[in-house]
Amino acid sequence: MWRGTRGPFDSHAVQWDFAIRGTDITTPYVLALDADYRVTPEFVRECQEAFLPGGYDAGIAAFDYQVLGRVLMGSVYPAKPVIFQPSRLRIEQPGHSQEMRVEGRVYRFDARLIHDDRKPVGRFVCPRSSTRGSRPRG
- Please report, for the chain, the start and end positions of each structural domain, with discontinuous segments joined by +: 30-123
Contact 114, 66 (CB under 8 A): yes
Of residues 69, 73, 54, 64, the one with CA closest to residue 121: 69
Question: Are 82 and 59 within 8 A, CB to CB?
Answer: yes
Find, among 9, 69, 8, 80, the residue nearest to 36 by Cα: 69
In tens digits, what is the pLDDT along the chain, a chain of 138 residues?
556 667 677 888 888 888 888 888 889 999 999 888 999 999 999 999 999 999 999 999 999 988 877 788 877 778 999 999 999 988 888 888 888 899 999 999 999 999 887 777 676 676 665 555 555 545
Cα–Cα distances (Å) from 138 to 65, 128, 129, in that order, read 35, 21, 22
* Class of residue 61 by CB neighbours under 10 A (exposed 0-12, middle 13-18, buried 19+): buried
Q: What is the pLDDT of residue 3?
A: 64
